[in-house]
Amino acid sequence: MTLPIFSPLEARVLGVLIEKEKTVPDSYPLSTNTLTLGCNQKTARDPVMAATENEVQLAIDALKSHALIVESSGGRVMRYAHNARRVFQLPEQSVSLLAVLMLRGAQTAGELRINAERLHPFADISSVEAFLEELAEADTPWVVKLPKLPGSREHRWAHLLCGAVDEEAFKIASSAAPQSVDLGEVAALKANVARLNDEVAGLRAMVEKIQSELGM
């Protein structure tokens, strides 16, 4: 299939919907307000954004034009769900990996396995790599394996939903970032913080849903 080229915010909106379907099912589909909060999370996001509700609504409308978002009315508020698996015609494992790449930027297969745990648990890193290779070798590639950075033992992967990756810019940004001694441990801690944030977001969305249904 021919892939649309998304803006970074459109990719973030789609990634959030895929993520929250799994992590906060009781408050899914999401309102524009909850979706905006998910886009602007300070943790489990790279880069961190500061999108407004109007900007998120424009991104929603753009994704709807590709049938990637469906809307439903919940009380007085419109709610949105993704339709990525059907439109992309990809298995859940591949969609989960794409979502994590859209949310967190380029990552190694090991980081992806940890960060995708709540969306789809992979048995081992080799299974993650198998799905990544399949996505990279598609007629129209979904992801790309980036060259190893100096001092790095593993390749990182990036999605192509926002167009080709500027590898030189990626190298510069990565070299400027502080390096971790134990990336696996840091990724696990970040995943735990993200889980706690999702629980808070889920409770907030449930209160919003109840208030909407009560007409408050």
Q: For residues 125 and 98, give the distance between their C-alpha atoms in angstroms, rounded to a whole number.
A: 16
Q: Which residues pair with 199 in a beta bridge?
A: none
pLDDT at 42: 95
Cα distance between residue 162 and residue 142, in whole Å = 10
Q: How far is CA 84 from CA 33, 81, 87, 88, 114, in A?
A: 21, 9, 5, 6, 22
Task: List Cα–Cα distances, 90 to 12, 77, 96, 105, 133, in angstroms.
Answer: 19, 30, 10, 20, 13
Q: What is the mean pLDDT of the chain?
A: 88
| 50-61 pLDDT tens trace | 999 999 999 999
Q: How far is CA 134 from the centre of its chain?
A: 19
Q: Choose between 97 and 76: higher pLDDT.
A: 97
Distance CA 58, CA 188 (A): 34
Model pLDDT, residue 3: 79
**Using 50, 70 and 90 to split pLDDT, how confident is the model at 166?**
confident
Provide the pLDDT confidence category of residue 174 given band limits of 50, 70 and 90.
low
Q: Residue 105: name the closest of 192, 32, 180, 169 by CA.
A: 169
Residue 16's Cβ-count burial label (10 Å; 0-12, 13-18, 19+) is buried
pTM comes to 0.81
- Determine which helix (DSSP H) or strand (DSSP E) holds 197, and give its type and residue range: helix 183-214
d(CA 142, CA 32): 27
pLDDT of residue 73: 81
Q: Summarize pLDDT for 22-74 with one digit per residue, the tens.
A: 999 999 999 999 999 999 999 999 999 999 999 999 999 999 999 999 999 86
The beta strands (E) that lie in 35-129 are given as 69-74, 77-82
pLDDT digits (tens, 9 = 90+) for 111-164: 999 999 999 999 999 999 999 999 999 999 999 999 988 888 899 999 999 999
Residue bearing the bigger pLDDT, 72 or 207:
72
